[in-house]
Structures are given as C-alpha cells and as structure tokens.
Amino acid sequence: MTTITIGLAQFTAVSDGDENRRTALALVERAIDAGADLVLPHELVATQYFPAFPIDDSYFDLAEPIDGPTVTVFQELARRRRAAVLVPWFERAGSGRYFNTAVFVDEHGEIRGRWRKVHIPRVQVPAGEANIEVDEKYYFEEGHEPYGLVDWKGLQIGVLICHDRHFPEAARALALQGADLLLVPSTSRGIPGSADPVATWRTELGAMAIQNCLFVAATNRTGREAQQVFMGASLVVHPAGDEVVRMGAEPGVEVIEIDPFAAERVRRARGFFRDRRPELYASIVELDATTAGGVR
C-alpha cells in the first residue's frame, strides 16, 4: 500500500435516529465516491448529543447492541462499497450496561476492533448567560479494555473517542504499540474559556501528532442542538505536525490522501521514542493508596 485516502464526515444531528443514519450513510457514500478508503464520521453518529440535555432516562432507549441498526447498516455499506468505516454509536452491552463505543468495520463488512470511551466527562460548559451541564457519567460506563490497535492493510490504527483526547497518556499508550494513525470521533463546542475554540482544538490534536509521530484524523459534529453549537472543523494532522486538511463549520465531507509510511519516517528522524526515559516517569502511574488501587 503506497497511499491511503481518509474521508471525514460531519453533520448536524436531529432527534430522529433513522434520519441521522440516512444522513451519515449519504455522507460516507460521498466520501467513498471521492476516493476514500476509510471514512470517519463523528461521535454518537445516530443520535444528538443528549448528555448535554436535561437528564432523562428515556435516552437509554436510544442505545443499540453491536448487531443493532446503526452498526449493521454501516457493515452493509462497507461490504457493498469495499471501503472501511469507523462507526461510533451508543452501545447497549447488556442489562443496565451502556457505553460510548466505536467499531472499525473493514471493507468486507467485518468488525475488526472495538473501543469503548474510557474517560467519561461531567462538566459545566458556558451557554450564553448560563451554563450547560454535560453529564456523560449518567449514561455511559467507562471502558475497561486496554487500548489496542487494528492492523488494516499494514496500517496500525487506534481510536480515542472525544474526551479521551485530553489525556496524553492514552495517545502515548497507542503510539508505543506502534500506531500510525489515531482516529478521534468527537462532539466538541471547544474547550470552555478558550478565546478561539478551533485554534485550541487544532493545537491539541497537533501536539498529539507531533509528540507521538503519527497521523491524527478527528471529526466533530456541526450546527445547533438545543443550546449547544458545535464547531465542526474536522481535520487531519501529519506526524510532522502540519495540518493537511481542515473542514469548516458546515456539514459535509472532505477526503485527503496520506502516506502510511510517514509516521515511521518521522519517528526515525526525531528519535522521540529512542530518547524516552520511562524509568523517570513512574509517578505518572504510581498507585495511590488512598484510592483503593486507583492510579494517580
């Protein structure tokens, strides 16, 4: 494989899950028509971002098993169009167990990997004169599986779901396993208090790419949902830190061709992994005796 073409898909969600699936499918098809080998829609592709709405147990009814309509319809599309898709959705994993999840579906429609969001936020974000409470903890259990990669056509791919991107240890864990590309499906209004949310989003994802010498492809939803306005700005960053494509605030798709061997070339040139001193970083993972075996 000499190159791979990544498709980014972003849109404004509505309350109707079937309509969201139709919109997402149409955008993924557009990206494939434009040459995409792998397409990345945004987080929770079939729903609005309900964790920022007033808490309501009826939202649990939106969750689906892995063989539910959202994953299944993308498997059918991937098989028919011979392209891979990352499918982020609200997962029901059994009685009373719910996760914010993404699966990697290859060009044969096979599920090759699953990632459940590890870092689950509960935060206050500004909305005009007041604040919105974002409470994902009410709806989603934390993912427990170690970070892992999918080997797809020789490309090592990892996934961080939205809030996971704020934790540098997560990206580094994937990079140390040999990740060439991180996919980051997101729902973001921007960091609270940032004067330029898009610039902050770009800076954070750029730092992830630079420090770990890998490609970062991140998608983000667009438009208004109740009091929330999402900024879009889906992008791809090169391992050298250069932004190779960034979308605006409107729904749509973008495709970009990347060199899958660039990550390894940058790692060789910079020596960041060679020069690591893990024996000096023990405090990052030192067990805190006051938290019943938690990690500080």
**How would DSSP label each residue in 220-254?**
E-EEEETTEEEE---EEE-TTS-EEEE--SSSEEE
What is the predicted pLDDT for the residue at 296? 41
Rounded mean pLDDT, 47-63: 97
More confident residue, 193 or 24: 24
Residue entry with tokens 């060009």: 107
Domain count, the chain: 1
Domain housing 273: 4-295
Encode pLDDT of 35-46 as tens digits: 999 999 999 999
Q: What token pair was written down for 210?
A: 């630079």
d(CA 219, CA 50): 18
What is the predicted pLDDT for the residue at 1? 62
How large a percentage of the chain has pLDDT more than 70? Answer: 95
Q: By the 8 A CB rule, do 212 and 156 touch?
A: no
Distances in whole angstroms, Cα of residue 20 to Cα of each of 46, 47, 231, 282: 5, 7, 18, 45
Residue 174 sits in a domain of what CATH number?
Answer: 3.60.110.10
Q: By the 8 A CB rule, do 49 and 94 touch?
A: no
How many CA atoms, within 13 angstroms, populate the side-chain half-sphere of residue 47?
A: 21
Average pLDDT, the chain: 94
What is the C-alpha R_g of the chain? 18
Pick from 55, 62, 152: nearest CA to 101: 62
Q: By the 8 A CB rule, do 159 and 102 touch?
A: yes
Encode pLDDT of 237-294 as tens digits: 999 999 999 999 999 999 999 998 999 999 999 999 999 999 998 888 765 444 444 4
Encode pLDDT of 74-130 as tens digits: 999 999 999 999 999 999 999 999 999 999 999 999 999 999 999 999 998 877 667
Q: By the 8 A CB rule, do 50 and 62 touch?
A: yes
